[in-house]
Amino acid sequence: MDCDVIIVGGGPAGLAFARSLRDTGLEVLLVERQPRAALAEPGYDGREIALTHGSRAILERMGVWERIPEAAPLQAARVRNGRSAFALDFDPGHDGQPLGWLVSNHLIRQALFEAVQDQPGLRLACGIGLGSARTTRDFAEVTLSTGLSMRGRLLVAADSRMSPVREQLGIAAEINRLGRSMLVCRVSHTKWHEQVATEWFGHGQTIALLPLNNGMTSVVLTLPERAIARLATLPDAALAKELTKRSSGILGPMEMAGSRHVYPLVTTWAKHFGARRAALIGDAAVGMHPVTAHGFNLGLSGQDLLAAEIREALRHGRDIAGEQVIRSYEEGHRAAARPLWLGTNLLVTLYTDERPLARVMRHTGLRLGARLPVFRTGVRNMLMAR
Ligand SMILES: Cc1cc2nc3c(=O)[nH]c(=O)nc-3n(C[C@H](O)[C@H](O)[C@H](O)COP(=O)(O)OP(=O)(O)OC[C@H]3O[C@@H](n4cnc5c(N)ncnc54)[C@H](O)[C@@H]3O)c2cc1C
């Protein structure tokens, strides 16, 4: 064996998993196709990740949270539907704790990289892609784009939604191309956002307004792909005007405060999260629709679970890639991910359906949600669970 664990993909999930294996004594190889400099100083990519209390607790345990220079507290969230003035509000609990925190994706990646860069037992092979991957009863093997082959005991795919490793291992996945894209950008505006996030399901569009520090907001606009492609080419002033109009001016006139980024919406669900001597983590396992902000939170808890299973195996002198480890991870992560996957997809279907019945149903759904304290408390507890 050249190492114990081979991780393919140095995005947030892969880096977090490498970090979770610190102090295990395992030799870990992480293969990432981007150059080292892009991991050390990742560029701003427009994503503002809403982190739950559970995610914060994991990042604190890893010694990563303290490396994140900026997190904006999310004091409350508001869901609106169409032109209705009614809103479903999720407020903080009695202890006044925020619902969660908004952190820029590039700052999470940077903090994770800082934490692992000198980690004993971890080799970072950056600027190298994957040629092929396979597993046998006795070992996992990857051939890198350099032609070099490496063997380990466990192969972990952290190579995103279209995961080449998943494909090489012959694991099928449900892939949904939604024909819509998200345009994300930071704006400044005249009215104070009160640290409240707004998710607004309008007719023909979805717009999320995420409150950042310094009074700024991240706008996440979802429209059919062509419409987003057109907006993305507008000059700054014209785009800001369009966003002001599309958000009905609730934050006052907007001005662009940074670069714009476009993400085509593709969701994926792997049929298995594990195989012989292999596991899928992060978006390689589940590529969620961003509307409910679960993707990274789920990926973070999944890798934490896999690392815990590995630690347990080590404690009992068992194989770290044995059937028991893979099965426990698969079952645990599937149980956590399935309700979120189904719930998010239902929400997306209901709130992007423009037929009159669907409009009535979502309006009724919001009103019902507001009247059911159990529902609101449930959502709040899910966000704040440790
Ligand atoms: C607009 C937007 C908003 C979002 N908001 C939230 C949110 O609020 N909350 C939340 O929890 N999640 C959110 N997400 C989801 C979150 O960003 C993803 O779940 C998370 O980035 C997935 O991390 P990952 O490491 O699995 O994949 P990625 O970030 O895609 O990283 C995969 C890595 O693998 C590397 N790689 C791929 N193929 C190979 C190969 N063949 N060889 C070597 N390396 C390879 C890539 O270079 C990359 O570095 C959002 C997503 C979007 C698009």
Whole-number Å distance, alpha carbon 284 to ligand 1 midpoint, is: 9
- Separation CA 298–CA 383 (nearest Å): 12
Cα end-to-end span (Å), the chain: 38
Residue nearest to atom 38 of ligand 1 (CA): 159
Report if residue 95 sits inside a domain: no
Residue 373 pLDDT: 63
Asked if residue 88 is part of any domain, the answer here is no
- Which residues surround ligand 1 with Cβ inside 6 Å? 8-14, 31-34, 47, 49-50, 105, 129-130, 158-160, 164, 182, 184, 263, 282-283, 290, 293-297, 299
Q: Which residue has the tokens 């509307």?
A: 291
CA of 14 relative to ligand 1 center, distance in Å: 9
Query: Mean of the pLDDT values across residues 9-25?
Result: 98
Residue 386 above 60 pLDDT? Answer: no
* 253 is a domain residue: yes
Pocket test for ligand 1, best of 105, 165, 186, 209 (most atoms within 8 A of CB): 105
DSSP state of 92: -
- How confident is residue 366, by pLDDT bands cut at 50, 70 and 90? low
Residue at a domain's end among 265, 289, 313: 265
The owner of tokens 């440790």 is 386
pLDDT reading at 374 higher than 90: no
Question: By the 8 A CB rule, do 279 and 273 touch?
Answer: yes
Q: Answer whether residue 116 is part of any domain.
A: yes
- For 168-228, strand residue ranges (E) read 173-189, 196-201, 206-211, 217-224
pLDDT band at 190 (very low <50, low <70, confident <90, very high): very high
Does a structural domain hold residue 254? Answer: yes
Kindly report the CATH number assigned to the domain that includes residue 231: 3.30.9.10
**CA–centroid distance, residue 283 to ligand 1 (Å):** 6
Question: Is 256 found in the same domain as 109?
Answer: no
pLDDT in tens, 75-99: 999 888 877 777 788 887 667 789 9
What's the order of all strands across the beta sheet hosting 149-152? 130-135, 140-144, 149-152
pLDDT score, position 349: 83
Average pLDDT estimate for 3-12? 98
Asked if residue 234 and residue 171 are part of one domain, the reply reads no
Q: Are residues 306 and 367 in the same domain?
A: yes
Residues 213 and 295 grouped into a single domain: no
Q: Are residues 163 and 310 in the same domain?
A: yes
Same domain, 340 and 204: no
pLDDT exceeds 60 at position 113: yes
Find, among 305, 309, 333, the residue nearest to 322 by Cα. 309
Per-residue confidence at 365, pLDDT binned at 50, 70, 90?
confident
Minimum mean pLDDT among 80-89, 274-283, 337-346: which range? 80-89
Answer with the one of 206, 230, 265 that is the final residue of a domain: 265
Bridge partner list, 274: 279
Write the CATH number for 310.
3.50.50.60
Quick check: 289 and 345 in contact, CB under 8 A? yes
The answer on 333 and 253 residing in a single domain is no
Q: State how many domains the chain has.
A: 2
Interval between CA 11 and ligand 1 midpoint (Å)? 6
Q: What is the mean pLDDT of the chain?
A: 93
Tell me, yes or no, whether 312 and 237 share the same domain: no
**Residue appearing with tokens 């298995």:** 272
- Output DSSP code: residue 360: H
Residue 208 lies in a domain: yes
Tell me the residue range of the domain where 366 lies: 5-72+102-175+267-384
pLDDT of residue 381 exceeding 70, the answer is no
Q: Which residues pair with 104 in a beta bridge?
A: 48
Q: How confident is the model at residue 267 (pLDDT cuts 50, 70, 90)?
A: very high
Q: Out of 202, 236, 265, pick the residue that ends a domain.
A: 265
Together in a domain, 128 and 272 = yes
Share of the chain above pLDDT 70, in %: 94
Gap between the Cα atoms of 227 and 65, Å rounded = 37
pLDDT band at 201 (very low <50, low <70, confident <90, very high): confident
> String of b and e for 340-360 (b: at least 16 CB within 10 Å)?
bbeebbebbeebbeeeeeebe
Q: Which of 19, 30, 33 to mutate to test the pocket of ligand 1 (most atoms within 8 A of CB)?
A: 33
Whether 285 maps to a domain, the answer reads yes
The answer to whether residues 214 and 149 belong to one domain is no
More confident residue, 115 or 371: 115
What 3-state class would DSSP assign to 259? strand
Considering only the C-alpha atoms of the chain, give the largest distance between any 2 of them, rounded to a whole number of Å.
Answer: 63
> Looking at the structure, do residues 36 and 135 belong to the same domain, yes or no?
yes
Strands (E), the chain: 5-8, 28-32, 48-51, 72-74, 76-81, 87-90, 100-104, 122-126, 130-135, 140-144, 149-152, 154-157, 173-189, 196-201, 206-211, 217-224, 254-270, 274-275, 278-280, 286-287
Task: Name the residue with the closest Cα to ligand 1, atom 37.
Answer: 159
Q: Are 268 and 159 in contact (CB under 8 A)?
A: no
Does residue 79 lie in a domain region? no
Q: Give yes or no: residues 67 and 143 share one domain.
A: yes
Whether the pLDDT of residue 352 is over 80: the answer is no
* Ligand 1 center from residue 12 Cα (angstroms): 7
Atom 17, ligand 1: residue with shortest CA distance? 296
